[in-house]
A and B are shown apart, each in its own frame.
Chain A
């Protein structure tokens, strides 16, 4: 079957019931997306599918043909993800780092949906588990990225 991952079409031969997570990790060796629970509880496996954050451990790959799948490996120079990544570094967010791909995916979609989120929006969108407890810094980094994106947006508008 054909999948569109980070803008690239790839061919995989697996049963339709195999969750996307394992196609990414074991078939395509795209290891940025992580396995944490396998039951849609932790968010370590989060990816963005057609503009929605999804938990790839619970997403049969058969349902994804012709859909746009975005993972942490995607590059979007100066886009939302890379602004978030910079903010993540600036705020020194990750500890063990294992949850952070999923966190960044969730944050990317959050800022696309709600460019100026409030605390409640962050709480509602960021439902992933971080066992290392980096929540305070994640929140700070999201605010920083939102600010940066807003400024960049303004700069463009003024031009």
Chain B
């Protein structure tokens, strides 16, 4: 049985990436296509290997067609449940003119054509129409990553050009074969048709000759009205394997005689392990092979089975040191942040009108001034699949299997820790059992490189136990935000001020992942997102930030700064609406009168939620956030069951994300984001005691479950705007919508999460 289920590894000796360049060829040697052409800088270094794409001819970096008409598409974005394999395949297939059922997707190697330009530059550019200066520079050190809800934004035009140019190359090849003008040929469902004679040639028959054709201009992309695949709820390509246990996650690559390595971190946050106390005893435990202290201050306990390795790692006693504040509790962290929130901020992002004048003075007759401190805790990602990676280092080559969000980061870290040259490294990006930002971190590719190096010639599967995973996360930072505001007698918002105290994720996480791109804390652009980039028209507005530095590692957590700032802003806006005696939806609407997309979203939400017309024991709350180029508004509908006991009956969610690729996926992502936001709002908290995180597993870091998950209804606005993100924007409004509903129900304003701390129960 063991053999039966063992997947065969591609032979390492056959693998060097250089060897494949001949097959994939150079990009952009043709005038325009092949791909990128004139606009594509540094053409001579734009190489792709086509590795992993199987038989056939590559028409460009993304498309290979086999003689038997099998179409393999390269999607260098990590599939973590958000549907990117399918979405990007839809974009390519739409223009390539093939049956969607006929395509399959692989994740290619870390090669330059696959850079995520939008993620790095925030510019909607692609290789076909040309990059600006920053895009050009970045194509020399490509960031190939999945995050920031950027995948579709980045791919929207480029991937359709990838399909369209390949289609035109196939048409040229067919025209040549028939000796007719290309304009008399057309492409349809995997065939080129000679419209004069009715003859047909399959893509499979044409690909080999088509790959050498060049085009002298970019083809015109289809109009939206002509789409057959894009914007349609096609079935996801990854789902069949995810219902029968065959989908391969990082922990699922198996071979005979492999070994397992359990990771152990120092107990105190900020410490490193410096030595072992009971190595001898641990080595005698069943199955244990080796104990290694890595240069990163983390230990690896090798055994012949994951469980034995994890048991042994648990009993390993270590010496550790290095933390700046070794015995701190949460009270210290939050005390510091409260102090910072009260101080003059280090960075003022918005300063419009005269906020300080207004909020510091006694308010005018008839006006109301509000001031409140909001607080959120640190949060763990708690991906369903704990952090892990698998690799073998042999004869100077390294092959790895892992669910990482950024193959370019993984490659850099493997190279650094194993010493194996990048062109001798092959990375198989598996499915991710959840990512949420955690799986873009460099720690686990770096560690697996070290783990494979310390046990060369053996396939090593490295695993974080759930406890190690939860206690050694790069957390969503805790934060304190001081909000103040003034509403006028006629019920409009006159002034709003927010002063946020937080560890800057952008500064710290980029410092770990791409040090060159890490900004100083006060320059970090994204820290205030959710507070400084919302559409409300506020005459006097000030948003500022004070940096908090400590040993705790913080990182990108689904929706990043919006995850807390959305809660601060949308809760306080609700407070102000009530203080002004206005309906919270209308209060918001009045600040958006020149923003038709927002008004449409709010009007749609009002209608679908039956806003304001509830039965006696049912209450609603609303929240609205722009994030990642999309607008999302939600209404939470809760029913009172007891004193502090509620049932969250419904969530209504409206998203405007511009043009859509797969509406079914968008619905799923909204549902997912709301559940993610609610789990955090109700239960989520990582706290510290004596320098260590308290929570360790799902018993004390709880999740929403089937019984208390609301029915979630989603509407997607139809328009022809540029696409926005969908993986994250569902999260930010979820918490404030709920707490705003609770205020309606109880009169209690929740300014600190999670709700379980205020004794609320959701049944």
Chain A interfacial positions (CB closer than 8 Å to B)? 8, 10, 14-15, 18-19, 21-22, 25-39, 41-42, 44, 71-73, 85, 88-89, 92-101, 104, 122-124, 126-139
Contact = CB atoms under 8 A, between A and B. Distances in A.
Contact of A136 (B239, B252, B671): B671
Given A31-B5, A41-B699, A130-B384, A96 B433 contact: yes
Contact of B305 (A14, A96, A131, A138): A14
B307 to A, nearest CB: 4
Interface of B: 1-2, 5-6, 80-83, 235-236, 238-249, 251-252, 254, 260, 286, 305-308, 310, 382-386, 431-435, 463, 465-466, 664, 668, 671-676, 679, 697-699, 703-707, 709, 711-712
Given A92-B236, A133-B675, A29 B245 contact: no
Given A33-B245, A39-B466, A135-B709, 15 more contacts: A29-B1, A31-B251, A36-B466, A37-B466, A38-B465, A41-B698, A73-B244, A73-B245, A89-B240, A92-B239, A96-B81, A96-B435, A129-B698, A132-B672, A135-B706
Contacts of B385: 34, 36, 96, 98
A88 B433 CA distance: 17
Q: For chain A, what secondary structure do more than half of its interface residues adopt (helix, strand, loop), or is it mixed? A: loop
A133 B672 contact: yes
Contact of B433 (A18, A92, A98): A98
Contacts of A30: 1, 5, 245
A127 B247 CA distance: 23
Contacts of A14: 305
Nearest to A5: B1
A4 to B, nearest CB: 12
A124 B707 CA distance: 7
Given A127-B705, A129-B384, A131-B384, A72 B245 contact: yes
A128 B435 CA distance: 19
Counting chain B CB atoms within 10 Å of each CB, the highest count among A15, A73, A135, A139 belongs to A135
B306 A22 contact: yes
A31 B81 contact: no
Q: Which 5 residue pairs are nearest across A and B when measured between Cβ atoms? A: A32-B245, A133-B675, A98-B433, A95-B81, A97-B242
Given A96-B433, A97-B242, A135-B709, A27 B386 contact: no
B698 A26 contact: no
A145 to B, nearest CB: 12
Contact of A133 (B80, B386, B709): B709
A31 B384 contact: no
Nearest to B664: A92
A36 B703 CA distance: 13
A85 B245 CA distance: 11
B711 A136 contact: yes
Contacts of A88: 239, 243
A8 B5 CA distance: 14
Nearest to A14: B305
A33 B703 CA distance: 21
Nearest to A105: B245
Q: Which of A34, A73, A137 has the most CB of B within 10 A?
A: A34
B37 to A, nearest CB: 38
A89 B235 contact: yes
B2 A39 contact: no
Contacts of B80: 95-96
Contact of A37 (B238, B286, B664, B697): B697
Nearest to B6: A29
A107 to B, nearest CB: 11
Contacts of A100: 242-243
A25 B1 CA distance: 12
Contacts of B698: 36-37, 39, 41-42, 129
A94 B245 contact: no
A85 B247 CA distance: 14
Contacts of A137: 668, 671
Given A36-B385, A131-B434, A136 B709 contact: yes
Contact of A132 (B245, B384, B386): B384
Contact of B672 (A37, A92, A95, A98): A95
Contact of B243 (A34, A104, A132, A133): A104
Contacts of A39: 466, 697-699
Contacts of A126: 705-706
Nearest to A33: B245
A38 B466 contact: yes
Interface centre among A32, A38, A96, A100 (most CB of B within 10 A): A96
8 contacts: A26-B254, A32-B245, A34-B384, A41-B698, A92-B668, A94-B239, A94-B243, A128-B706
Contacts of A127: 705-707
A133 B674 contact: yes
A72 to B, nearest CB: 4
B246 A94 contact: no
A128 B705 CA distance: 7
Contacts of A10: 1
B303 to A, nearest CB: 10
Contacts of B709: 133, 135-136
Nearest to B241: A97
Residue with the highest number of chain B CB atoms closer than 10 Å, among A30, A37, A93, A134: A37
B305 A32 contact: no
Contacts of B241: 97
A117 B703 CA distance: 24
Contacts of A122: 706
B59 to A, nearest CB: 30
A135 B704 CA distance: 9
B383 A22 contact: no
B742 to A, nearest CB: 21
A101 B245 contact: yes
A129 B241 CA distance: 20
A134 B671 contact: yes
B433 A22 contact: no
A138 B247 contact: no
B105 to A, nearest CB: 15
A126 B707 CA distance: 8
Contacts of B672: 95, 132-134
